[in-house]
Amino acid sequence: MHNFYNFVSFRHLPPFICVIYISEALFKFDSMSSRTVRLLNRHGYYLEIRKTGEVVGTTQDNMYTDITIRTVDFGKVTLQGKKTGLFLYMKANGKLSTTTLSSSECDECVWKEEMNFLRPGFFHYCSNVYPKWYLGVTKRGKTKKGKRTKAGQRSTEWSRL
């Protein structure tokens, strides 16, 4: 039986680098993958994208709380209201807004989807353009400015239903 390192011929690299390289090479990326979910934060609010373009948190789940998550790149997604067709993005001042432009036309529409390892089943959505700003809804249901968010806050932890 062949030794793993001889077969791959990465003997000069540490073992963990070899495993990462091989796993990325074997990973088949589907750029068209999407799923429809409802995002519920730890305060108990669903993310709602209304037909007027307003983004709010609501305790009622309705047709405007259906969010389509589309994969753009590894760990990067877009959030689109299923009923409205509007994409969620973060403005330069940290406010959440919507647009009809897709991720190929609007860099602000791309979000990093980060898994919360302290609370399995919860995710953070971090702006791709503003890396320390997160998608958040306060305990009163209002959207939180990106400047006031941090990873680990209840308002920024989302469960997919």
Can you give the residue ranges of every domain in the chain?
A: 37-160
Query: pLDDT tens, 46-79?
Result: 999 999 999 999 999 899 999 999 999 899 999 9
Residue 104 Rama label (left phi>0; alpha psi -120 to 50; beta) = alpha
DSSP-assigned letter for residue 28: P
Cβ partners under 8 Å of residue 154, min gap 6:
41, 42, 43, 139
pLDDT at 158: 94
37-160: in CATH 2.80.10.50: yes
Q: How far is CA 138 from CA 8, 47, 82, 99, in A?
A: 50, 11, 23, 22
Asked if the model's pLDDT at residue 7 lies above 90, the reply is: no
Cβ partners under 8 Å of residue 81, min gap 6:
49, 50, 64, 66, 67, 68, 88, 98
More confident residue, 3 or 96: 96
Contact of 77 with 110, CB cutoff 8 Å: yes
Give φ, ψ of 156 to 5 degrees: -105, 0
pLDDT at 32: 60
pLDDT at 13: 52
pLDDT at 69: 95
Q: Which segment of 6-10, 36-40, 63-67, 139-143 scores lowest on mean pLDDT?
A: 6-10
